[in-house]
Structure 1
C-alpha cells in the first residue's frame, strides 16, 4: 500500500484504517461496519501483497461527521 498522505490525518478526528483479512468479503464487511459508526471514504477493492497472507483494504474515516453525512472528501492515493 502507498504511504498515508499527511492530508488524511491533518486534523483531530481524521483517521486512516488499514484492514487485513482472509478474503474480500471479510475486509469489505469490516469497512461496512465502520461506515455505521462514522463518515467514511470507502475503497471499492482489496489488494493482495506478495508474500503476505490474505487481502488488504484501506479506508479513510472522519469521526467528526455522522455516518449519514456522506463520504469524506479524501485526497486518495
Structure 2
C-alpha cells in the first residue's frame, strides 16, 4: 500500500483504513458499509498485488463527520491518490 501522508491523520477522528479481502466484491461491500457510517473517500480502487493473498484497497474516513455532511476536513477533495480512477481494478504486475 502507499505511504500514509500526515495530513490524512492530522486531527482526531481521521482514519486511513486498509482493506484486504478475498475478492473485489467483498472489498467493495465493506467500503460501501463504511461510507454509510462516516464521511469517507467512498469506494476506492481495488488492487491485486503479486505474491499477496486477495485484493487490497484503502479508504479514508472521518469518524466525527456523518456521510454527506458539509463539515468534512478541508483536504477531503484530495484524499484519493490520483494513480487509479475509482472503480478500476489494477491487474497483477509481473
TM-score range, shorter chain: 0.7 to 0.9
Quote the RMSD (CA, aligned, Å).
1.7
Aligned length: 77
Unaligned runs of 5+ in 1: none
Between 1 and 2, higher relative CO (CA 8 Å, sep ≥ 6) is seen in 1
Unaligned runs of 5+ in 2: 82-94
Rg larger in 1 or in 2? Answer: 2
8 A Cα contact 1:14 1:60, kept in partner: yes
**Structure 1 outlier segments of 4+, above 4 Å:** none
Question: When the two structures are superposed, what TM-score results if normalisation uses the length of structure 2?
Answer: 0.73
Question: When the two structures are superposed, what TM-score results if normalisation uses the length of structure 1?
Answer: 0.88
